[in-house]
């Protein structure tokens, strides 16, 4: 699994905001394995040049100034937008790309658009988001969901399939706790496992079994995404 660009931006922007990293350190960590990141602000939400792409370091300075409280990670899926509350243009873009970063108070959101080995961040006006649950609550919910899904899939006897391959999980920025790091890694692995499992019907021998299996896997993936979002969103 390639670590989502929104995970890297949220974690390192929060760390930079709290003084845990310098601008240069945060920029390098956000860039990760990519060759370049640029920021597009066509509506002038950040006050960047609306006619040209801006550098990541210029954008980080603006993002730090406009949002003193912190940034939330959103991993929306159809039927569940997570912390996002609009407007529709921002929600649609976040849902299309499956990820976004949103200011907790400043009315700004960013959606990553991958272009080859580079990322373009599109800036949007955003409604103030709903606060994610605490990392502890999200971790507990994920533990309960794993047990529930395992029991349901065991009863159906349809869990067969290839094992997912994941080179490495997300590495959170300085300032995050070891427990948050462990939750983020586990949640990311579960998301990959669910995506792989949803690409086929496992050992299902009927449409009923296939539908039940897919429903359980989607519930587990949604819960894992919420746990990852909570682990990354809260740095206090």
- Residues 9 and 96 reside in one and the same domain: yes
- Residues 116 and 173 reside in one and the same domain: no
Model pLDDT, residue 165: 59
- Residues 30 and 113 reside in one and the same domain: yes
Per-residue model confidence as pLDDT tens digits over 125-151: 999 999 999 999 999 999 999 999 888
Q: What is the CA radius of gyration of the chain?
A: 18
The H or E element spanning position 32 is none
Asked whether residue 20 is domain-assigned, the answer is yes
Residues shown for the chain = 236
Where is the domain boundary, 125, 146, 170? 125
Where is the domain boundary, 102, 125, 148? 125
If one counts the domains in the chain, the total is 2
- Residues 117 and 142 reside in one and the same domain: no
- Residues 115 and 152 reside in one and the same domain: no
Give me the domain span that covers residue 173. Answer: 135-233
Asked whether residue 220 is domain-assigned, the answer is yes
- Residues 10 and 121 reside in one and the same domain: yes
Going by C-beta distance under 8 Å and a sequence separation of 6 or more, which residues neighbour residue 190? 142, 146, 220, 221, 224
- Residues 141 and 179 reside in one and the same domain: yes
Model pLDDT, residue 1: 47
What pairing do the DSSP bridges indicate for beta strands 100-103 and 71-74?
antiparallel
Q: Is the distance from CB of 99 to CB of 84 less than 8 angstroms?
A: no
pTM attached to this predicted model: 0.91
- Residues 143 and 44 reside in one and the same domain: no
Could you give the 3-state DSSP secondary structure of residue 80?
strand
Model pLDDT, residue 198: 87
| Residues in the chain where the model's pLDDT stays below 50 | 1, 160
Asked whether residue 33 is domain-assigned, the answer is yes
């Amino acid at each position: 699994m390639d670590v989502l660009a929104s995970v890297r931006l949220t974690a390192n922007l929060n760390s930079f905001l709290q003084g845990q990293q310098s601008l240069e350190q945060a920029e390098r960590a956000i860039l990760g394995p990519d060759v370049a990141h640029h920021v597009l602000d066509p509506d002038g939400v950040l006050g960047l040049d609306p006619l040209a792409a801006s550098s990541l370091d210029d954008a980080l300075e603006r993002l730090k100034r406009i949002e003193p409280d912190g940034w939330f990670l959103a991993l929306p899926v159809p039927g569940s937008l997570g912390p996002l509350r609009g407007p529709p243009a921002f929600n649609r873009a976040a849902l299309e790309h499956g990820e976004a970063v949103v200011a907790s108070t400043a009315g700004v959101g960013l959606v990553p658009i991958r272009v080859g080995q580079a990322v373009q961040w599109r800036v949007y006006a955003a409604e103030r988001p709903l606060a994610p649950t605490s990392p502890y609550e999200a971790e507990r919910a994920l533990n309960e969901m794993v047990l529930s899904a395992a029991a349901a899939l065991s009863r159906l006897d349809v869990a067969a399939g290839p094992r997912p391959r994941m080179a490495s999980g997300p590495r959170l920025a300085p300032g995050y706790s070891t427990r948050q790091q462990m939750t983020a890694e586990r949640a990311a692995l579960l998301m990959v496992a669910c995506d792989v499992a949803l690409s086929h019907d496992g050992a299902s021998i009927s449409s009923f079994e296939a539908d039940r299996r897919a429903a359980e896997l989607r519930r587990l993936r949604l819960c894992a995404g919420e746990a990852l979002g909570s682990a990354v969103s809260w740095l206090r």
